């Protein structure tokens, strides 16, 4: 493996030392070093400057080191309180600056932030390893862990103790000294490669623009899409033209409606070739190196593959269980996708086409089939999906289920004007937390949608630290005189991320470091999608942006009838990415592979049809390679949780959409529980039984 050049290391150290000195000179003005003088101690974005980050990272690591020194220097025998709880409470300043910095790196990055990210990545990797490989600290944790059966701990304390002990072991604590050094080097390299991957994807995404000059090339596109493209062109200094990008709110409508087949191909090809153009932003070597390093690290820790390492801590437990689950879904999904393909090929021939359906044709002809079979045009729906109303609809669902109120706050600092901030309250007016929503694409924002936060919930005795949660998306912007009108997929995504936000807002645990298993974390988000298009909920928020009229029953009926439409494509596109992820992380040999050859072999093995492109090709598969991804050997989480959410929603369908007894049970055993107990145990307490896969298969028309 290629080591970081000595000259580079010296330069990084010099830069870091300079930043420390600058930070000391301005210590009195660094907002991270004092209690925030803002409502609910929210981050003072108006005061935070680029030069504040490195000094804050440095002071944060130093403080945590001192806290750990105090733990290991305690002359008293190790106990749960003086070791486990004391370590769990350490590192608050580091958490504070990290939460702000990495949230902004995803949602509103800049060249300065990316530079800091590269500087701090190896520093934080070293700091984490210094903790995980701290022999005296581990011995104290190990001592308490050995006494756990006779300590009288409650379920949450027991889980913290076991998770912490396993965390040290998985972090290399049991490795011999020579292997510890290699382990450190691997973690350092992976941290830098993750940042590099993110930079490349962002630059590739922002670099492509399809500039259209001829009006006839806009044939088939709805007026709102044309208006949006004209606005994008004006912003790019190309007034009088129309610009489309590979950001999905721009790309997908073009693929759905543009009659110009060559331009559809050009746009989709630009999207799927990101990171694979053999240019300065190419990611193939980056990901091949990351995969190799992950295999080597797994071997050091005694695991056959990185997937074995990951699944051990999930509900699935083994890669074999994941593959068995995916294969159970793959066969019926692929069968449905082939039917959909054949149906579209017949339509092409009916229209006089002599060409074979290609990936850039799928959205276009699927939309035609939807129109023919269900008389439903997505553009009929958009006028009823005003962004503000959709958000209010999600809020109303939360009010009816859990008694929550969302009050907009204009006195809380924001990192950009497009952000809207809400205080979340209970029925009695008591404070729950803060929710930031940031919904529109821009050059400094990573693609996709996610839920994050600036502070997690925790309790110290009777003192509750309330959460500061973010929902970030890349939805359709306002165009011309029209407000932001969402596509059905964007509506679904808004509800999905809001479900994550509810989980973060409502959890009620003592320890902030306890985390939910990856294949359980998507349950609260995906169950919320069930309410998005339910007729009772559409009545609450789906109103025409001009007239205020409630969505007509005829359109609601069409939505329900078309619910299983294109599910073969949707499921196959997604599952193929799950297989690709698992295959990358089931490598048992640390030799670097050819990324494109590996991907092709992986997709050929499952017989992915050529008319469908895997949802995320390897060079831009951020879920599994990004510095902040966390879904490596875990992209299947969504479909695993879909089994849970389909089964869980059956309980609401049986008792009533807003049945309070069912809602209280879901709140108590899923949302509030956080990570305080075993995930499946929590689910079974809510549902009264193990989950069944049949509701998911039925929902997707796969039975």
Residues classed as catalytic? 497
Those residues with Cβ within 8 angstroms of residue 9's Cβ, 6 or more apart along the chain or in another chain: none
Q: Give the separation between CA 210 and CA 229, rounded to whole angstroms.
A: 10
Instruction: Kindly report the backbone phi and psi dihedral angles of residue 487, in degrees, each rounded to the nearest multiple of 5, phi listed first.
Output: -80, 160
Q: Give the separation between CA 89 and CA 85, rounded to whole angstroms.
A: 6
Q: Give the separation between CA 672 and CA 685, rounded to whole angstroms.
A: 13
470, β-bridge pairs: 436, 452
Q: How far is CA 647 from CA 132, 360, 656, in A?
A: 39, 35, 15
Cα dihedral 647, 651, 657, 659 in deg (nearest 10): -150
**Could you tell me the sign of the dihedral formed by the alpha carbons of 258, 262, 265, 269, in that order?**
negative
Task: Give buried/exposed letters for 455-467 (b at 16+ CB in 10 A, else e).
Answer: bbbbeeeeeeebb
Question: Tokens standing for 143?
Answer: 């001592």
Q: How far is CA 517 from CA 510, 678, 683, in A?
A: 17, 9, 13
| 38, 22 contact by CB (below 8 A) | no
Instruction: Tally Cβ neighbours within 10 Å of residue 270.
Output: 20
DSSP assignments along 282-305, one per residue: --HHHHHHHHHHHHHHHHHTT-SS
Q: What is the DSSP letter of 384?
A: G
Instruction: Kindly report the backbone phi and psi dihedral angles of residue 110, in degrees, each rounded to the nearest multiple of 5, phi listed first.
Output: -160, 170
Q: Which of 608, 557, 563, 574 is nearest to 700 (CA)?
A: 563
Q: Give the separation between CA 206 and CA 198, rounded to whole angstroms.
A: 12
Cα dihedral 599, 600, 606, 611 in deg (nearest 10): 110
Those residues with Cβ within 8 angstroms of residue 625's Cβ, 6 or more apart along the chain or in another chain: 194, 197, 283, 286, 287, 290, 632
Q: Give the separation between CA 525 and CA 667, rounded to whole angstroms.
A: 13
210, β-bridge pairs: 244
């Amino acid at each position: 493996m290629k080591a970081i050049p000595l000259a580079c290391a010296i330069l990084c150290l010099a830069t870091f030392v300079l930043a420390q000195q600058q930070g000391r000179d301005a210590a009195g003005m660094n907002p991270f070093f004092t209690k925030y003088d803002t409502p609910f101690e929210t981050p003072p974005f108006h005061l935070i400057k680029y030069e504040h980050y490195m000094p804050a990272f440095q002071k944060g690591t130093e403080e945590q080191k001192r806290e750990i020194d105090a733990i290991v220097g305690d002359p008293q025998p190790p106990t749960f309180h003086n070791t486990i709880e004391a370590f769990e409470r350490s590192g608050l300043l580091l958490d504070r600056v990290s939460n702000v910095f990495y949230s902004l790196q995803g949602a509103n990055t800049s060249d300065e932030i990316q530079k800091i990210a590269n500087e701090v990545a190896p520093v934080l990797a070293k700091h984490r390893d210094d903790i995980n490989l701290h022999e005296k600290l581990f011995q104290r944790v190990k001592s308490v862990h050995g006494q756990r059966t006779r300590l009288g701990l409650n379920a949450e304390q027991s889980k913290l103790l076991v998770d912490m002990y396993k965390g040290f072991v998985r972090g290399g604590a049991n490795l011999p000294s020579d292997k510890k050094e290699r382990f450190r080097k691997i973690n350092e390299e992976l941290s830098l490669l993750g940042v590099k991957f993110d930079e490349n994807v962002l630059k590739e995404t922002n670099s492509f623009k399809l500039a259209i000059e001829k009006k006839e090339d806009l044939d088939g596109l709805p007026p709102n899409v044309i208006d949006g493209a004209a606005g994008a062109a004006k912003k790019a200094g190309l007034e009088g033209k129309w610009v489309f990008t590979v950001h999905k709110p721009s790309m997908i409508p073009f693929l759905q409606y543009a009659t110009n087949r060559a331009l559809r191909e050009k746009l989709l090809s630009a999207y799927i070739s990101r990171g694979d153009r053999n240019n300065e932003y190419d990611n193939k070597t980056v990901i091949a190196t990351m995969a190799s390093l992950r295999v080597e690290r797994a071997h050091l820790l005694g695991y056959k593959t990185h997937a074995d390492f990951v699944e051990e801590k999930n509900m699935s437990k083994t890669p074999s269980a994941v593959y068995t689950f995916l294969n159970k879904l793959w066969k019926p999904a692929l069968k449905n996708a082939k039917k959909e393909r054949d149906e579209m090929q017949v339509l092409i021939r009916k229209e006089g086409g002599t060409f074979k359906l290609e990936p850039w044709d799928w959205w276009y002809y699927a939309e035609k089939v939807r129109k023919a079979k269900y008389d439903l045009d997505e553009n009929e729906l958009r006028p009823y999906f005003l962004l503000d109303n959709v958000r209010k609809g999600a809020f109303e669902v939360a009010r009816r289920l859990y008694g929550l109120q969302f009050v907009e706050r204009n006195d809380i600092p924001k990192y950009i004007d497009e952000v809207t901030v809400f205080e979340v309250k209970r029925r009695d007016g008591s404070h729950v937390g803060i929710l930031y929503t940031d919904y529109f694409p821009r050059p400094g924002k990573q693609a996709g949608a996610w839920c994050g936060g600036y502070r997690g919930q925790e309790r110290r005795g009777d003192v509750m630290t309330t959460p500061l949660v973010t929902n970030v998306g890349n939805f359709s912007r306002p165009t011309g005189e029209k407000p932001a009108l969402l596509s059905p997929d964007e509506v679904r995504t808004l509800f999905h991320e809001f479900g994550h936000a509810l989980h973060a807002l409502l959890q009620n645990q003592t320890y902030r470091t306890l985390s939910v298993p990856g294949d359980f974390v998507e349950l609260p988000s995906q169950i919320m999608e069930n309410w998005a298009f339910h007729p009772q909920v559409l009545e609450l928020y789906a109103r025409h942006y001009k007239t205020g009229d409630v969505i007509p029953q005829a359109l609601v009926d069409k939505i329900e009838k078309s619910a299983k439409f294109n599910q073969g494509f949707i499921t196959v596109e997604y599952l193929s990415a799950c297989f690709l992820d698992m295959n990358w992380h089931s490598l048992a040999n640390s030799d670097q592979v050819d990324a494109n050859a590996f991907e092709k072999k992986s997709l050929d093995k499952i017989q992915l049809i050529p008319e469908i492109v895997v949802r995320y090709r390897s060079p831009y598969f951020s879920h599994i390679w990004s510095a902040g991804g966390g879904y490596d050997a875990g992209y299947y989480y969504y479909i695993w949780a879909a089994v849970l959410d389909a089964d869980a929603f059956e309980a609401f369908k049986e008792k009533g959409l807003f049945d309070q007894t069912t809602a209280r049970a879901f709140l108590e055993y899923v949302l509030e529980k956080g990570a305080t107990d075993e995930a499946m145990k929590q689910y079974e307490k809510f549902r009264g039984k193990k989950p069944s896969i049949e509701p998911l298969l039925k929902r997707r028309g796969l039975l």
